[in-house]
Amino acid sequence: MPDSTANRRLATILVADVDGYSRLMRADEEGTLVDLRAHLAELVAPVVERFHGRIVKTVGDGLLVEFGSAVEAVRSAVELQRGMVERNAGTPPDRRQAFRIGLHLGDIIVSDDDVFGDTVNVASRLEGLAEPGSIVLSASVYEQVRDKLALPFRAQGSRALKNIDRPIRVYSLDAAALSQDGAGPRRMKVPVIIAVPSTIDSAVRTVRSLRPQRPRIATCITARSPPPSRRARPRLRSDPGRARSARPQGTGRGRPSRRRSRRG
């Protein structure tokens, strides 16, 4: 008879382990253990806490984490893989550790702070399909994050998993793609063209060209010619001969003088 007191809830399970852990232990047991503990304390724990996850347990080189959100689980997985790349940058190649991560969303059973169920088993099998530094997630996780995270998911088709009675459609995030793309919300890309002037003069011209141009009204300015100068006409001396010749022809009489004759 099933236990009616079992605590069930929907969750996203993250399972991770270190690739080639047995080889690293054979080469240097103490150094490998020190490095692993440093990764867990300095990288894994802070990242899981930042994305509101809960570390259920660690077994050897394995890690099991519970998330209430599929988006937060994928973001956490991406940050873990990127963080390991940065931490391995200054580490000798023979001591570098790389995580393989599997994610699955489904119903789980919670008992004594541990988690059980088919969801945990599927997440563990998906982790086995991942390459070093990459992430493999099921279709149930992908459907929750496909329109929310700008990540280069690659469809891998349906895969048969060990001890799982049905094929599972899986998607992957390769290590090379994780180093280039972001895990933020998906945004529409708008091209922006910025002109960088090389000199101050070109900068001024650029700013002026961006201002709205007003229609120019052609104005005609007519230059007024200066008034003609009044030149003093030369006064002619009185000459009876000229005066007579200047009289109009045909009347025989000159223009009557306005001066009154003086009486003697």
Residue 128 CB: number of other CB atoms within 10 A? 13
pLDDT in tens, 205-248: 765 666 666 655 555 455 555 555 555 555 555 555 554 555 55
Residue 162's pLDDT is 87
Q: Judging by DSSP bridges, how do beta strands 154-159 and 135-138 pair with one another?
A: unpaired
Q: What share of the chain has pLDDT > 70, as a percent?
A: 66
Per the domain annotation, does 191 fall within a domain? no
Collect all residues with Cβ–Cβ distance below 8 Å to 32 and sequence separation of at least 6.
Answer: 21, 24, 25, 95, 97
Q: How many domains does the chain have?
A: 1
- What per-residue confidence (pLDDT) applies to 44? 96
The alpha carbon of residue 81 and the mean position of all alpha carbons in its chain are separated, in whole angstroms, by: 22
Residue 39 has which token pair?
Answer: 């990764």
57 or 257: which leads in pLDDT: 57
Tell me whether residue 111 is in a domain. Answer: yes
Residue 228 lies in a domain: no
Residue 89's CATH number: 3.30.70.1230
pLDDT of 131 higher than 90: yes
Beta-carbon count within 10 A of 189 CB: 7
> So what's the pLDDT on residue 178?
83
Q: State pTM to two decimals.
A: 0.67
Considering the domain boundaries, does residue 101 fall inside one? Answer: yes
Residue written as tokens 């790389």?
Answer: 98
> If you average pLDDT over every residue of the chain, what do you get?
80
Average pLDDT, integer, range 249-255: 51
Instruction: Assess if residue 117 is contained within a domain.
Output: yes
Residue 139 falls inside a structural domain: yes
Residue 74: predicted pLDDT: 97
Does 248 fall in a domain? no
Confidence band for 191, pLDDT divided at 50, 70 and 90 = very low
- Asked if pLDDT for residue 262 goes beyond 70, the answer is no
Judge whether residue 107 has pLDDT over 80.
Answer: yes
Closest CA to 174 of 93, 106, 36, 77: 77
Is 223 a domain residue? no
Q: Which residues pair with 84 in a beta bridge?
A: none
Tell which residue, 231, 7, 50, 13, has the closest CA to residue 137: 13
| pLDDT score of 109 more than 70 | yes
Q: What number of residues does the chain have?
A: 264
Buried b (16+ CB within 10 A) or exposed e, 99-124: bbbbbbbbebbbeeeebebebbbbbb
Ranking 9-13, 77-81, 143-147, 190-194 by mean pLDDT, the lowest is: 190-194
- What domain range includes position 93? 7-178
Write down the pLDDT at residue 187: 47
Whole-number Cα distances in Å, 62 to 57, 74, 100, 208, 256: 8, 18, 10, 63, 141
